[in-house]
Structure 1
Amino acid sequence: MKKVSILDVVEKSGVSLVTVSRVLNNVGTVRESNRQKVLQAIKDLDYRPNSAARSLARGSTGLIGLTLETLKDTVFDGIVHTVNQSLEESGYFLALSIFSRTEGDPDQKTNFLFQEDRVDGIIVLSLLDEENYVMELKRKKIPFVIIDNHVANSRALTVNVDNYIGGLEATKHLIELGHTRIAHVSGPDHFLSVRERKRGYEKALSDAGLSPLIVTHTESFGIRSGFDVAKTWMQNGMIPTAVFAGDDGLALGVMEAYQSEGYKIPDDLSVIGYDDQVFAAEIHPRLTTIRQPMEQMGQHAVRLLLKLIQGSKRNTSVVLQPELIVRESTAICLKKD
């Protein structure tokens, strides 16, 4: 089979060789309609540019790094897949680093992606000890973008979801169903997202003239943490009519704990989660939750990073809106105080 060349892309797209080259090298001076023609031709022909030659021509590695602490999260997994797809469309390859704190590295700065000339830029996905990462990347002059940052008023270029609005909308949904005894279980409060979701919860209650029934921070996210918190509530006689959980795993744990004691979801207890993990639509009852726009998060991060690499100085951080997804785990409150 004949190997597809750049000239085949030129013929298929109907644009000039210069335009195709600019699209492959992600130069911003290409008309969007022409860029789409080239990208479609590349896809139709399954064209794979010679990365070594391309990198040599533009003085770069052709690699973008992405570093995160875990892939045990379907939102993170979705973001990584979107980033990979967006980079492929722009002629780049993704280098992934799953990096966590080690005993001999208290500052968390020994990351193979952070070596000079190893990658053209880095996407940092929801890492703790963010300030040290930012300092190291700035010192080495590596372009970077942070997704889901944890430092308030960060000076870095970031892509975030408005977690305050997410917490607000989740709690308003429960209030609109007639609930007044609404508890909140969240993750560790060193996460900015956790603090913002809690702030939205408190604001929605305040606007409705209500007070938080109980707020519990867990040491970690996940089903077991939610289960243990709910069991403790019940042991202390704390029976809400609704729970806003700051994570879908926490929500599932809460549901399992109350169901194990004979409570019915949502007849006796409404539960709403956060993230819209894959399992949220597969459990019974299906989980009402706040969806994070993971595809947009990945796409915006790639767009901002490539603009930085091109030398653009006019870049603005992005804040995306979450979406309320109503399923079967929430219902009208039938119990009156």
Structure 2
Amino acid sequence: MKKVSILDVVEKSGVSLVTVSRVLNNSTTVREINRQKVLQAMKDLGYTPSSAARSLARGSTGLIGITLQTLGDTVFDGIIHAVNESLEAKGYFLALSIASPAQMDNSAVNHFLFQEDRVDGIILLSTFAEKEYVLELKRKKIPFVIIDNHIEDTKAITINVDNFLGGYEATKHLLNLGHTKIMHISGPELYLSARDRRRGYEQAMAEADLAPTVIMAEQFDIRCGFDSVKTCLEHGLKPTAVFAGEDGLALGAMDAFRDEGYHIPRDISIVGYDDQYFAKAIHPRLTTIRQPMEKLGQEAVRILLEMIDGSSKRSKSVCLTPALIVRESTAEWKEHT
């Protein structure tokens, strides 16, 4: 039996190859009457488009690239899974690139994903080589979006979470529990997200007419959270609550306080940020700010594919809302007698 091809769908539906191609790629520029003709022809013929057929129809590689610094982060892991699922649903494949420190020092011109006709578009995930990558991608006219950008006032299309709001809500939660001695462990200045979370904390403290106490951590990790608390206690700072700018920092802070004889949450309340996989597995379970990982990935794919097929002439950046997840690591503050 002859295998049904895209040309058979063209003949059966009575519309052009271009129209069939647009229907296969879910373009919004197709008239509904023609879309129904194509869908009915596909049904009558029993035609199921393969990824190769979709790529041939749109005259492209069928590949979307994503570049990031590390896989050792459950937020990134969740985003990548969402990107991959969204791309599969549209007939695309995902090409993953993990940039080493050496690669980041070199020119973006040499990035293997940025070569002509290698991919149809690029997703930059929290890259430190943002400036160089953006210049090169614009020069080569490769469509791209950035998830979690680090350059303020960037002209690129970005998909972010409102980190200012997240920091503000985390701090308000502690204030509403009666805490006034609230310390913030902030992540590296290099991250725009860390700077915005700190600004949210400072805003909430200012509204409560309280002085902020900020400890700067060198990295978003458990060891830095542990060391930050040890340093704080050694200098006589005794907060009743901590807002950590990332869940790893929060976990390290919890270990340090326990090591000093504190009970959580009776003696110290702790809030993290991200809602990583371990947040609800540790004891006590961690109160944290959840990042909408799935939505970040889905929005990045939606906007990038609109840029590729030209269905949206003016793509806009997206800022998603985080959510406070209250668990057992925070409690109402009561003075001990």
Instruction: Write the deviation string for residues 310-333 of structure 1: whole angstroms up to 9, x where unpaired.
Output: 123221100000000000000000
What does residue range 255-270 of structure 1 map to in structure 2 within 5 Å? 255-270=254-269
Cα-Cα RMSD: 2.9
Instruction: Write the deviation string for residues 283-326 of structure 1: whole angstroms up to 9, x where unpaired.
Output: 00000000000111111100110111112322110000000000
Give 1:276's aligned residue.
Answer: 275
Are 1:236 and 2:235 counterparts? yes
Deviation at 1:25, TM superposition (A): 2.0
Deviation at 1:219, TM superposition (A): 1.2
Distance 1:122-1:50 versus aligned 2 partners, 3 A rule: closer
Give 1:310's aligned residue.
Answer: 309
Three-state SS of the structure 2 residue aligned to 1:273 is strand
Instruction: Give the AA of the match of 2:216.
Output: H
Instruction: Write the deviation string for residues 55-99 of structure 1: whole angstroms up to 9, x where unpaired.
Output: 233211011001111111111101000001111111111111111
Are 1:246 and 2:257 counterparts? no
Distance 1:27-1:186 versus aligned 2 partners, 3 A rule: same
Question: Is the 2:21–2:54 contact (alpha carbons within 8 Å) kept by the matching residues of 1?
Answer: no
Q: TM-score, normalised by structure 1?
A: 0.88
Instruction: Give the AA of the match of 1:306.
Output: L
Instruction: Give the AA of the match of 1:198.
Output: R
Three-state SS of the structure 1 residue aligned to 2:210 is coil
Distance 1:120-1:237 versus aligned 2 partners, 3 A rule: same
Question: Is the 1:6–1:49 contact (alpha carbons within 8 Å) kept by the matching residues of 2?
Answer: no
Question: Is the 1:273–1:289 contact (alpha carbons within 8 Å) kept by the matching residues of 2?
Answer: yes
- Gap regions ≥5 residues in structure 2: 10-14
Q: How far apart in 2 are the matches of 1:185 and 1:46?
A: 57
Are 1:92 and 2:92 counterparts? yes
- Gap regions ≥5 residues in structure 1: 11-15
Give 1:194's aligned residue.
Answer: 194
Deviation at 1:160, TM superposition (A): 0.5
Q: How far apart in 1 are the matches of 2:141 and 2:305?
A: 15
Q: How far apart in 1 are the matches of 2:2 and 2:263?
A: 61
Distance 1:291-1:152 versus aligned 2 partners, 3 A rule: same
Give 1:325's aligned residue.
Answer: 325
Instruction: Write the deviation string for residues 163-196 of structure 1: whole angstroms up to 9, x where unpaired.
Output: 0000000000000000000001011011110000
Give 1:13's aligned residue.
Answer: none
Q: How far apart in 2 are the matches of 1:320 and 1:279?
A: 23
State the identity as a percent.
62
Q: How far apart in 1 are the matches of 2:4 and 2:128?
A: 44
Instruction: Give the AA of the match of 2:288.
Output: T
Are 1:123 and 2:123 counterparts? yes
Q: TM-score, normalised by structure 2?
A: 0.88
Q: How far apart in 1 are the matches of 2:109 and 2:226?
A: 35
Q: How far apart in 2 are the matches of 1:334 and 1:126?
A: 40
Give 2:50's aligned residue.
Answer: 49
Give 1:61's aligned residue.
Answer: 61
Question: Is the 1:245–1:271 contact (alpha carbons within 8 Å) kept by the matching residues of 2?
Answer: yes
Three-state SS of the structure 1 residue aligned to 2:146 is strand
Distance 1:295-1:91 versus aligned 2 partners, 3 A rule: same
Question: Is the 1:4–1:47 contact (alpha carbons within 8 Å) kept by the matching residues of 2?
Answer: no
Q: How far apart in 2 are the matches of 1:4 and 1:257?
A: 66
Instruction: Give the AA of the match of 1:320.
Output: L
Q: How far apart in 2 are the matches of 1:160 and 1:318?
A: 6
Question: Is the 2:182–2:242 contact (alpha carbons within 8 Å) kept by the matching residues of 1?
Answer: yes
Q: Which has the larger radius of gyration?
A: 2
Question: Is the 1:187–1:220 contact (alpha carbons within 8 Å) kept by the matching residues of 2?
Answer: yes
What does residue range 18-29 of structure 1 map to in structure 2 within 5 Å? 21-29=21-29
Give 1:215's aligned residue.
Answer: 214
Question: Is the 2:65–2:121 contact (alpha carbons within 8 Å) kept by the matching residues of 1?
Answer: yes
Give 1:172's aligned residue.
Answer: 172
Q: How far apart in 2 are the matches of 1:218 and 1:63?
A: 38
Question: Is the 2:222–2:248 contact (alpha carbons within 8 Å) kept by the matching residues of 1?
Answer: yes
Three-state SS of the structure 2 residue aligned to 1:314 is coil
Q: How far apart in 2 are the matches of 1:83 and 1:31?
A: 28
Query: 18-27 or 185-194, which moves further after superposition?
Result: 18-27
Question: Is the 2:66–2:95 contact (alpha carbons within 8 Å) kept by the matching residues of 1?
Answer: yes
Instruction: Give the AA of the match of 1:49.
Output: S
Deviation at 1:105, TM superposition (A): 3.3
Three-state SS of the structure 2 residue aligned to 1:102 is helix
Distance 1:293-1:103 versus aligned 2 partners, 3 A rule: closer
Instruction: Write the deviation string for residues 108-129 of structure 1: whole angstroms up to 9, x where unpaired.
Output: 5532101111000000000113
Question: Is the 1:100–1:108 contact (alpha carbons within 8 Å) kept by the matching residues of 2?
Answer: no
Three-state SS of the structure 2 residue aligned to 1:274 is strand
Number of residue equivalences: 322
Deviation at 1:29, TM superposition (A): 2.9
